[in-house]
Structure 1
Amino acid sequence: MFEFLKSRNNNTSIDTLPVTTDIHSHILPGIDDGSPDIETSLQLVQGIYDLGIRKTVATPHVICDLYRNTPAIINDALQKLAAACITAKINISITAAAEYMLDDYFLQLLKSPAPLLAIHKNLILTEQSFASATDNLHHIAFEMVTLGYRPIMAHPERYHFYHSNYEAYSRLKDMGFLLQINLLSLTGYYGKPVAKAAKYMVANNLADLVGTDMHHFRHLEALKDKKSLHIFDDLLGKKNWNDLDAL
């Protein structure tokens, strides 16, 4: 028990995350299942700032028939939040992209002349349904790479259909996906099978990026928990995570 503390002095205080850039969050107000309003957004932003985050990329969902967020909708919410942060004197850099569900609507967007909203340069954050794997994933990945995008698969450790065969994570990388794990996955927040998969990916150098996937105050409180911070430091502290220019 508490193996993550064995190599550390028990009196060591860890107050920040092992990253200064967050590339996955739902902190924009009122446009998906994340923050419902600007007041909540400001509190979440202040919370991650206190945890050492100095740059955050908001990634609202884009999902067919649920969250058809457009660049205009996303940028409007971004401008409101950025202005509110200036007023509140929170010195954090906030940009926005999207977390694209790999559904039929995404294929329409991919074929559109309008560019997708990127995390950085050509990096595009994608996700699958938690219910089942995407049937045509190879095709979608091929189309994205052909168009010059580098796809990121969000939280693959949370997809239960990969838990019986971890080779699936290597296959995702073979398709061209970078893999992003949620920080809280490492703590058991989403359950033991998810934690086991996340730790496997980190231990085997399959994880390329980490993110808060911040939606609400429960996520923030779990990230601030001292036990969580020690776990992050022990498992992730030896690598320079989320250096987007280095990818």
Structure 2
Amino acid sequence: MGLFNKKININELYPVNYVDIHSHLLPGIDDGAKDIEDSIALIEKLYAFGIKQFRTTPHVLGDVWENSSATIKEKEALLQAELKERGYHDIQISASAEYMMDNNFSKLLTNDDILTLKGKYVLVEMSFFNAPFNLDDILFQIQIKGYTPVLAHPERYAFYHKDFSEYQKLIDAGCLFQLNILSLTPQYGKEITKTAQRLLKEGMYTFVGSDTHHKRHVKLMETLANQKTKKLLTPLFENNIKEFSF
């Protein structure tokens, strides 16, 4: 094994004050943590990695995950209180959302009912089967409202893999890209990893997040503790810290 691929301790991978901007840690609200005990267990694992700041992002997805800003904030308050009760006073966590760009999102946007990651940044996603037919209009409307769209895991949209010019079009349309760190593991398959590596090489990502849903995800994250990954992701880690610190 070369020096560049040298293994490191997992808590050496993440810089001090790193902020994870994509996760599903709120209890019983989507396909992430099932209950408060599950939430705490996941956070404790990530805390052991040195991650102490979280902007967690439950799904808001049509009639599948009909989470409102109010219900999200209720779960946020519950989790914050539980962390404080257990003595985790150095953990900072706030909840926004991962918005599917669908008709429901368009209504929320019209009504100014959006939970941002911080400031102007809104985390959005699209179907893994196809892009919205009115994607350009949605991205335009997001920016008209004064927000900046952060597209979650662009490497996972397989319909773009054969034409990388489509990724550049999204960036030209005002999108910032957020890498799922799990895409660098076998979690989603070789094609996703290959695409993530190419997007990284071409400097198309701005931010990174874990997209943690369950303990298997956290276990896979441990496999990324090497010098190569650290060097590749350090610019993204630094962007997260700059834009999303508490």
Q: TM-score, normalised by structure 2?
A: 0.91
Residues 123 and 149 in structure 2, CA contact (< 8 A), matched pair in contact too: yes
Residues 34 and 214 in structure 1, CA contact (< 8 A), matched pair in contact too: yes
Match of 1:14 in 2: 9
Greater fraction helix: 2
Report how many residues are paired.
238
Match of 2:68 in 1: 70
| Pairwise CA distance, 1:13 | 3.0
Which residue identity lines up with residue 87 of structure 2 in the other structure? K
1:66-110 residue CA offsets vs partner (Å, 9 max, x unmatched): 111111100110111111111222221000100000011111111
Q: Using the alignment, how far apart are the partners of 1:176 and 1:8 within structure 2?
A: 34
Task: List gaps (5 residues or longer) in structure 2.
Answer: none
Residues 26 and 58 in structure 2, CA contact (< 8 A), matched pair in contact too: yes
Task: List gaps (5 residues or longer) in structure 1.
Answer: none
Q: Using the alignment, how far apart are the partners of 1:28 and 1:224 within structure 2?
A: 22
Match of 1:128 in 2: 126
Match of 2:106 in 1: 107
| Pairwise CA distance, 1:9 | 7.8
| Pairwise CA distance, 1:49 | 1.0
Coordinate RMSD, CA, aligned? 1.7
Structure 1 residues 43 and 210, CA, compared in 2 at 3 Å: closer, same or farther? same
Q: Using the alignment, how far apart are the partners of 2:5 and 2:68 within structure 1?
A: 49
Match of 1:232 in 2: 229
Secondary structure in 2 aligned to 1:153?
strand
Match of 2:94 in 1: 95
Residues 32 and 60 in structure 1, CA contact (< 8 A), matched pair in contact too: yes
Structure 1 residues 125 and 165, CA, compared in 2 at 3 Å: closer, same or farther? same
Runs of 4+, deviation exceeding 4 Å: none
Q: Equivalent residues in 2 for 1:44-83 (5 A)?
A: 44-83=42-81
Q: Using the alignment, how far apart are the partners of 1:194 and 1:208 within structure 2?
A: 18
1:187-224 residue CA offsets vs partner (Å, 9 max, x unmatched): 23211111111111111110000000010011011112
Q: Using the alignment, how far apart are the partners of 1:124 and 1:210 within structure 2?
A: 14
| Pairwise CA distance, 1:54 | 1.8
Which residue identity lines up with residue 125 of structure 2 in the other structure? E
Identical pairs, percent = 38
Q: Which moved more, 1:230-239 or 1:209-218?
A: 230-239
| Pairwise CA distance, 1:238 | 5.4
Q: Using the alignment, how far apart are the partners of 2:138 and 2:162 within structure 1?
A: 23
Residues 166 and 197 in structure 1, CA contact (< 8 A), matched pair in contact too: no
| Pairwise CA distance, 1:243 | 3.0
Q: TM-score, normalised by structure 1?
A: 0.91
Q: Using the alignment, how far apart are the partners of 1:103 and 1:68 within structure 2?
A: 12
Q: Using the alignment, how far apart are the partners of 1:237 and 1:183 within structure 2?
A: 12
Which residue identity lines up with residue 55 of structure 1 in the other structure? Q
Match of 1:245 in 2: 243
Q: Using the alignment, how far apart are the partners of 2:105 and 2:10 within structure 1?
A: 39
Q: Relative CO higher for 1 or 2, CA cutoff 8 Å, sep ≥ 6?
A: 2
Residues 18 and 236 in structure 1, CA contact (< 8 A), matched pair in contact too: no
Q: Using the alignment, how far apart are the partners of 1:244 and 1:169 within structure 2?
A: 24
Secondary structure in 2 aligned to 1:56?
strand
